[in-house]
A and B are shown apart, each in its own frame.
Chain A
């Protein structure tokens, strides 16, 4: 304990004295416990595993990955602030989960309780149909939905999860009505799409990267076209102000010292900048983002406002 406090004090001194970011700061001194709120083998887990070599290169330390699974992540986030707040424990966080779950009530944390240090990754929403579907464009999709309201079935993950948000938002924006079919996960909803059990799917470009010609993306909810799919338009081009997706980042217990939070945020920023890691992520269909420690507050506040509206759409709040 004393050694760590001493090291922290040294770090502060070094930062004050030198004025430039000195590599001398001792944090982290040992492997970090990285808690993943989802199953082994999922996107959060794979991302953490791929981050580890870069983390080791930057800091000389590794991760001890632990899984604390349950209730769409809420089990882990509820326990975050009871964990050691000395920088030894970090936890993966996901959006829009952190906004939506407290609005549903009954989870044991509030959005503001979670001290996010950085958001590093985005999987934008994408509207996907089977590769041989007669629907080839967003316009055709909307026409089809208007012809028979509610008749188009769209697969996604559980009720009130991120893809459900996309469905509710787009239905309202386009003035259409579709039927959302919740499945246990992205893999299950993809299987339902490939088997034509549903006619479309709200998911992410990662599905199109894996399934290739077996599926067709109609549009993605990005500012600009996805680099791996230059032929797929954005919803913006089609006249919808719809730029959103599922975000991933990392958080620490609230009481963790400020300088450690900043340092961690910087390290995860450096990981994103590392070419081998970035290339691997890009090829998987992920979009790297850099919402650092200073910007997270504003980002969360803005998103929170937007998701209050969306929660109303989903019928979660009055």
Chain B
């Protein structure tokens, strides 16, 4: 069967319908704070058991990509990432929505998500086997340095004070250490509580730290939640397309970063969008506008996180090693369908694999009209609903979302406690973003560091392990560039001014 035949198999009316249904269901679930892409795929997987495997895969892929995209709604409209992948979207999406550009931000997010998704799927289609080797070349030390690269974002997202940003990030790192450590097995900072043995769930932390202070501020004043212009201006598609065209290199670079980070098992969409955001800010003409509603920030974050979908399927399909948590569930579903995964999947079941990849491509494209319509609906709902209804509705969603993570009321308490803590920190000028950065990157940094140290000690060359590997050196170079860039930029500026 030729490749074209698989393409037409992905285009049957049934498969198109599945892709549409999956994208819509995924977007709705992903849009809710607390309900992540992993949750969307997990709860909807049983629906696929009655289907042929390729149809099941198309539905699951569509749900997954829709949910990653859906994360931007809550990020832009409520300053709460709907999924961890949308953390970086809050940095500029929320300021845009506050100043009355929520509709524009949502449309930019659709364009970026579709672009990123398409780039990710195309790279999966064309370059999967060689890219899978990249995933394997990434060892503990590289993960450590990648996390450090993410941490350099502190300087960018600490609103007023760098020192307060550092403190916030350290608090986040502490939160990430709560529970039973994978490496070392110690039980840390649990206050002797059973409920904290498993650690603080990342999603519960995200929802609490971002969302609770927002709702608290929401009820504190009678002002409207979001500003709006005189009248609704539709999709503002032309304007958004203009921003996307201006930021086309940003869009492309972020999509590639997203795909590459997505390939790494153990990294995922949150890190992809954070790294892409950092790079976009570094290379931007006006880096100071980032964090205050720069469209480029949304372009970077949303294209990178949707690119991780295609990227994550590279190790999943080529090596049988899930690239992201939703991929793990999809692999499990394949096993239930009686399909043996692993390195032979690509060759032995190429029909199913190619139909799936084309299906994912179609689903990503369907996201454009579906996302535009859903986005407009979400935006209109949130500006029309009176505050007295909006606040309880958001609170209700956070409770549903946090409970659903592990089916556990303890997580809801943790979420609420962290929310109250985040509000107190906010009063001292420590903002949520650096705290969350620490929570997300902490486990990767710690495990990478300790594993690398163990391996280095075993071979008697710790320094060589951390500073002698080519990929590690490349990442260290990027870290230095990011840290020193303000100085370099100033020097270049001075030189330019010296010359007449």
Contacts and interface: CB of A to CB of B under 8 A. Distances in A.
A310 interface: no
B459 interface: yes
A191 B336 contact: no
B455 A197 contact: yes
A70 B319 CA distance: 27
B184 interface: yes
A40 B194 CA distance: 22
B343 interface: yes
A169 to B, nearest CB: 16
Contacts of A210: 320, 340-343
A41 B332 contact: yes
A209 B331 CA distance: 15
Contacts of A188: 265-266
B210 to A, nearest CB: 22
Interface string A279-292: 01001100000000
Interface stretch (A152-160, A242-250, A297-305): A152-160
Interface stretch (B23-31, B99-107, B130-138, B155-163): B130-138
Interface residues of B, number: 59
Contacts of A78: 194
Given A66-B407, A187-B265, A182 B198 contact: no
Interface stretch (A101-109, A112-120, A232-240, A266-274): A101-109
B228 interface: no
A182 B406 contact: no
A76 B340 CA distance: 29
A280 B339 CA distance: 10
Contacts of A191: 135-136, 265-266, 315, 319, 321
B197 A39 contact: no
A280 B45 CA distance: 20
Contacts of A184: 182, 266, 447
A309 to B, nearest CB: 18
A214 B194 CA distance: 41
A46 B42 contact: no
Contacts of A133: none
Contact of B198 (A71, A152, A209): A71
A211 B343 contact: yes
A252 to B, nearest CB: 18
Interface in A55-93: 65-72, 74-75, 78
Contacts of A214: 343
A248 to B, nearest CB: 15
A135 B300 CA distance: 46
Nearest to A158: B182
Given A153-B455, A214-B343, A192 B194 contact: no
B467 interface: no
A71 B343 contact: no
Contact of A153 (B137, B322, B335, B458): B458
B320 A68 contact: no
B139 interface: yes
A123 to B, nearest CB: 14
A206 to B, nearest CB: 10
Residue among B45, B182, B184, B330 with the highest chain A CB neighbour number at 10 A: B182
Given A151-B458, A280-B338, A75 B329 contact: no
Contacts of A72: 180
Interface in A31-60: 39-42, 45-46, 49-50
Contacts of B194: 75, 78, 107-108
Given A159-B184, A212-B344, A179 B137 contact: no
A75 B409 CA distance: 12
A66 B406 CA distance: 9
Contacts of B46: 65
Contacts of B152: none
Given A151-B458, A192-B139, A195-B137, A41 B331 contact: yes
Contacts of A209: 340, 342
A174 B180 CA distance: 30
B344 A187 contact: no
Contacts of B494: none
A190 interface: yes
B333 interface: yes
Interface of A: 39-42, 45-46, 49-50, 65-72, 74-75, 78, 104, 106-108, 150-153, 158-160, 179, 181-184, 187-188, 190-192, 194-198, 209-212, 214, 280, 283-284
12 contacts: A70-B199, A75-B194, A106-B187, A153-B454, A153-B455, A160-B185, A182-B185, A182-B451, A194-B136, A195-B136, A197-B140, A212-B342
Interface of B: 38, 41-42, 45-46, 49, 135-140, 179-185, 187, 190, 192, 194, 197-199, 265-266, 315, 319-322, 325, 328-333, 335-336, 338, 340-344, 406-408, 447, 451, 454-455, 457-460
Nearest first, the 6 closest Cβ-Cβ pairs linking A and B are A70-B198, A41-B332, A159-B185, A195-B136, A41-B329, A210-B342
Given A158-B183, A280-B338, 4 more contacts: A41-B329, A42-B332, A71-B199, A183-B182
